[in-house]
Amino acid sequence: MLPTAFIAQMRQMLGDQQLAQFLKCYDEPRTYGLRFNRLKMNSQLVEHSFLQQAWNLKQIPWCEDGYYYDYNQRPGKHPYHAAGLYYIQEPSAMTAAELLDPQPGETILDLAAAPGGKSTQIAAKMQGSGVLISNEIHPSRAKILSENIERMGIVNTIVTCAAPSELATRFPATFDRIMLDAPCSGEGMFRKDEGAIKEWSPESVQQCAARQWGIIQDAISMLKRGGMLAYSTCTFNRQENEEMIRQILDHYPNMMLIKEHRVWPHLEQGEGHYVALLQNGQPEEDEATSQLKTKEKQNKELSTVWDAYTAWAKEVIPHFHLPQGRPILFGEHLYFLPTTNDLSLTSKQLNKLKLPRAGLQLGEYRKNRFIPAHALAMAVKVCEASEAHCLVLGASQVTSYLHGETIAVDDKLTGWCIVAIAFSEDDAFPLGWGKASQGQLKNHLPKGLRQQQA
């Protein structure tokens, strides 16, 4: 049962005729979508007849990589999902990153990023070049965000866990583009979440609008001259959408509205979304690109671990190349921190900042040995590794590996190798690491990712 005040609000917005269509859509099944990961899937694979037919895929009109799927097929349970070939995402939510239009090499912030749909969409468009900072203030949600970044094989993303105001003090006028998918009253969630209906009230709309305004002010302070801000919500009311944009334009004369877009559930296949693209004035033509800051002096421990990684990588993943950046050590764990010509994070910026994911986790150094991280396996392509054990979809070894079990391999296979699932004779995608010895492959899939046995 929809709240009476909500229906009255929608009548005022849509009129009686469209309101009837809008309310009717709540009796219809919701739509489901997935977005293919261009960091791993090329056009030929996306258009492969197996994928198109397996889940009855139909193109989402506003996202080149997005497809509607038949929910009964459950692609989220498929090994290809574990391999990071696609991200399950509500179709209308794909509009925001498309409008933001991120480019390779840019410095980008996703300010309220969990669970990761928009961040992974942005990262795919960046193609491993530039820096994406994905922030989530709640630690448990930041952990989920980190896991999704890892599964999709993204190498140039830093996950932070901080209040927007804390980031604003560290990164003034820093970002080329900012995605702000603002916490909202969630009216677009009503069809799939009865809890959202119970939590809604006119007062909650006002509270959300007040909170959004505070976050927006922090976001604008971090935007470069000429930078782009995409503001989006999954709610319908004007107070959190058009009126919020008008408030921005009134308060910040330099901000310009480039475009607004809505997805209505009674007009298109989606739960509903609003997105506005704004620009922080025109970029200064004579603004010179800042040079890379001098790297901080690396201590002896970092040098030792980095040397161990490079020696290991030369042997195991000889054709894998890291993006522009620098190594950084957290205890025994080695990360690779991405940088651009505009952003090379300093110790001052990182000091006491919660970092669930400080770029790409490479591995750890224990007992004078380098142990690769699962994130590294997901970032590597099979052709970049010296050894790979490829599993055929449907084979019992796929299930055994995803359960965390040791599997039998050829005696000739020794040492670290990528364990991958084969899409076709020429295409295979990593599931994780294994270490072979005497015909047995020790499973290095993290315990938290292992599927429960039926």
Question: Could you give the residue numbers annotated as active site?
Answer: 234
Q: Is 123 annotated as a binding residue?
A: no
Rounded to the nearest 10 degrees, the angle between the axes of helix 202-221 and helix 242-251 is: 40
113 is in an annotated binding site: yes
136 annotated to a ligand binding site: yes
Q: 399-415 burial by CB neighbour count: b if 16+ within 10 A, else e? A: ebbbebeebebeeebee
Cα separation, 196 vs 46, in Å, equals 34
Pick the closest to residue 262 from 47, 147, 93 (CA basis).
93
- Residue (of 233, 111, 226, 280) closest to 180 by Cα position: 111
112 marked as part of a ligand binding site: yes
Cα(78)–Cα(41) distance, integer angstroms:
16
Residue 248 near residue 220, CB atoms below 8 Å: yes
Short-list 121, 130, 65, CA closest to 103: 130
181 is in an annotated binding site: yes
Residue in 167, 176, 298, 180 with CA at minimum distance from that of residue 230: 180
Q: Report whether 83 belongs to an annotated binding site.
A: no
The pair of three-digit structure tokens given for residue 46, joined into one six-digit string: 């996306």
- Residue 355: both structure tokens together: 């970092």
Number of C-beta neighbours around residue 196 at 10 A: 17
CA distance 162 to 139: 9
- Record the tokens describing residue 7, joined without a space: 């229906």
CA gap 75, 53 in Å, rounded: 12
223 near 173, Cβ under 8 Å? yes
DSSP state at residue 207: H
Q: Phi/psi at 226 (nearest 5 deg)?
A: 85, -5
Q: What is d(CA 324, CA 215) in angstroms, rounded to the nearest whole number? A: 30
| Binding site per annotation, positions for S-adenosyl-L-methionine | 112-118, 136, 181
| Binding site per annotation, positions | 112-118, 136, 181
